[in-house]
Amino acid sequence: MFTALFKDLRSFAVSNIAYFQNGKGNTQARFHAAFCLLHEHIDRGIQPTVELIAPRLDEYDLSPDVQANGFRSIIKIIHKCCLHILQLVRHIHVNRESMFFRSSHYSSELEAYVETLGQLRACLEHAYKLMDFCKDGSLFADEEMIDDAIAEELTQQVEKLSQECFYGRTMGFQFCSSMQKPLSTVGVTMASFSENYLDNKSHFMQFAGTVLSSGKYLLNPELRARQICAVTRMADVRFCKAFWSITESGIMQQLPTFVCPSVQVNEVMALQPESFEIEAVESKETVTITPPCAHTGHGPVNVRLLSSEYRVGQPRKSSKPLPKKTVPLPLSPCLLVHCHGGGFVAQSSKSHEVYLRQWAKDLNAPILSIDYSLSPEHPFPRALEECFYAYAWAVKNCRSLGSTGEVICLAGDSAGGNLMISTAMRAASFGIRVPDGIVAAYTPVLVHYTPSPSRMLSLMDPLLPVGILVRCMAAYAGIPNDFLDQRRSSRDIEEEFVVIETVDCEEDSPSSDSYIQDDSSSVDILNRVTSLESLDSDLGFPVSKTNQILNVDDNDSAVLVVGGNQVQSDSVAVETGTLGQSDAGVSEVASPDEFNSVCLDTSGGSSLAASTLGDLPLAEEADESGKQISQLELANSRRSLPPPRQSLHLSLPSSPTKPKKTFPISPSMPAIGISDRLGYKKGFSPVYEARHHIESPVRIFRSLPIVKNPYMSPMVAPDEMLASLPPLYLVGCHLDPLLDDSVMFARKLRSLGRTVDLHMIEDLPHGFLNFSLVSAEAKLGSDVLVDKIRKVFHSSLKEEQNDTESVNTSPPH
């Protein structure tokens, strides 16, 4: 699949380079430079690195049946980008001599996609280096190895990669077609909203300004990209709250009423902060459930009850009047307790009605959705305390919700999934009833800034950019926003402490909940003063336009390693036969949906180019730009590279401590130096942010023990806590920055013998549930979660029925 794709891209690149290299106009020069750079990316970066990663992809999958991990995701996105470029260059090749050919437009399109491919190349090479720090197939860097300065520098380099190319003309290219327009609308709205938000205008003026300024961002994708990148890296978490809350303002708040299925019960209730008794599971004793009290003291918990049909016991105070002679339906045996997403900082059950109303109709069961308190005003553990209190209240008062409570399922997306998993673990620690199953979509189970290949996707995610992801995690952990702002000096940060205050309140929780009460726990840890490590504002990474991976001099030769001996390439014979105007003879490329594994043919070569190597003396001194190699670029893997058909790669100075991890020229295309011969001589250097707006959170997160609390990050929970979880159904997306969380959590639960199911969804972004009204694929994804919830309901009811029949048919004693 990749071999045919790369061959076609090279063919078109060489043909167009030969065509445009003699052009005299500026547009022709832009085409020539873009095609040279495209050839450079494929020949010296993408293909050789894919060939190195591909044989190891299976090590990181959950199972042979579930082929999903962040490494596959990066390669999948590169495949999609190459397919877009192939379609574009075909059009350019066929129409370049037409008088109606819009050369300026297509040169801008080609430049945008080639730049995107270059940044993806950087992500791919960083992912390959990350493999050194991932032990035994883990997708997260090993905690002991991550303390290595090289690993920390790797994290910071990825964080500093420029994102602008991903939010311009190519925005959302990696997703299905039905999501691309909605995501572009989100991008335009974010850019125009941020412009007015930063001006501190009133809500009405912000809305009016957003509408008026949206036009320029719609017509100018480059301007939109600059604005989005600036605001996501500079704005604090309050911007995230304001932007994500747009769906709950004005007419947007009434939208579900008009376009979603109607429900006969849509009731908002406030659970008063009163202690109550609930029966324990394994004894006749009762357990006292106390109301939430962290940070702000006792307060009510708001919940929303949704039901498509009015049932016995359900409240109806604010709902619309029922039709005359309506008879309440009997109690449902099932109850769904839901928790919404929003990065722990935004949204509510109201904004998630876009799919909850459909769920209520499809499941024909009551849904209790919890409106937990949001960070940063109410950081961990306030939200967890409220979710647990609401769950325990629902178990005790299920008949007031229209259910007998025979089967109770928990469901949540993103942050809501995290809270539901933690709620189930806390219920087990209290000794009360554990839910019959959990359904969680694209859920973060490691609220910790730990490198993983899928988290690199936040560099290009339209809904979860890297700056927003970092700030949401920090807000939930209780880290003040100022500590992530580089506009403050390092000395100011060093002299301060993290002080998070809570209101003292009585806690009558059982002693079994030791993880809430111990020294590194939710309540007590928030009363402590935790000093931070020294934070350097200068991250020590040079922003240079010179090549930091393949340092090629300006001359026409390149230092090579052939059979262990260094030689210099002096001449390259290139066949640049002009291709025909038609597309005949161009091999078909497989659909990205067929991407289950990467299989590359490295036995054959290409007829487009061949290399002639001569032994020449090495250059005595390197260019000054070649000396700007970071410690990471001088580091190397602890494993040997697979022996290619021809071991040809550019040589770099060796590290005094570790050998250099090199990226050889693809054996399938042994045309060393061809990119230089065709006009691109400087080699490849990723685009980095000229000014890094946020302080790297790596040290901050590692210095706070609260982020390793098992109720904040279920991934790090001890085995005895995870063993108490009911059957878990995880739904992940191949293109989601949080994919590795789902894969690794499912792997850990399976190792403990727990029932866990991981269902992967193609070509949809993080948060797709909120787009189920505008995308057919997103609606199908929502239906997948409904099926998983039904499975929990039916399997539990069947077990209860079998238990009842066995009791009734057992002989008397």
DSSP, collapsed to helix, strand or coil, labels residue 273 as: coil
Q: Are 549 and 636 in contact (CB under 8 A)?
A: no
**In what helix (H) or strand (E) does residue 553 lie, and over which residues does it extend?**
none
Query: Is 466 in a helix, a strand, or coil?
Result: helix
What are the Cα distances from residue 398, in Å, to 272, 313, 393?
16, 9, 8
Tokens 């967890």 appear where? 384
- For residues 11 and 608, the answer to whether their CB atoms sit within 8 Å is yes
Query: Which DSSP state fits 43?
Result: I
Note if the bond before 333 is cis, omega within 30 degrees. Answer: no
**In contact, 281 and 428? CB cutoff 8 Å:** no
Alpha carbons 374 and 347: distance in angstroms, whole number = 9
Q: Six-digit token pair at 156?
A: 């910071």
Tokens of 443: 């859920």
Task: List the beta bridge partners of residue 305.
Answer: 267, 368
Nearest-angstrom CA–CA distance, 123 and 141: 16
Strand 728-733 versus strand 756-761 pairing type? parallel
The tokens 């500079």 sit on which residue?
A: 234
Is residue 532 a contact partner of residue 497, using CB atoms and an 8 Å limit? yes
Question: Alpha-carbon distance 801 to 243, whole Å?
Answer: 48
CA distance 316 to 305: 10
Distance CA 717, CA 447 (A): 12
Active site residues: 414, 736, 766
> Sign (positive/negative) of CA torsion 22, 28, 33, 39?
negative
The pair of structure tokens assigned to 694 is 């946020």
For residue 761, give the 3-state DSSP assignment: strand
Task: Give the orientation angle of helix 26-41 with respect to helix 103-130, to 10 degrees.
Answer: 20
Give the CA count within 13 Å in the CB-facing half-sphere of 634: 13
DSSP code for 627: G
Strands 286-289 and 276-279: antiparallel
Q: Which of 291, 286, 297 is nearest to 271 (CA)?
A: 291
- Residue written as tokens 């990181």? 60
Selection from 92, 90, 160 nearest residue 122 by Cα: 160
DSSP letters spanning 663-716: -PPPTTS--TTHHHHTT--S-----B-SS--B---HHHHHH-GGGG-TTT-GGG
Please say whether the beta carbons of 32 and 630 come within 8 A.
no
User: How do strand 558-562 and strand 565-574 relate by DSSP bridges?
Assistant: antiparallel
Q: What is the DSSP letter of 724?
A: T
Cα 325 to chain centroid distance, Å, stands at 50
Query: Residue 77 CB: number of other CB atoms within 10 A?
Result: 24
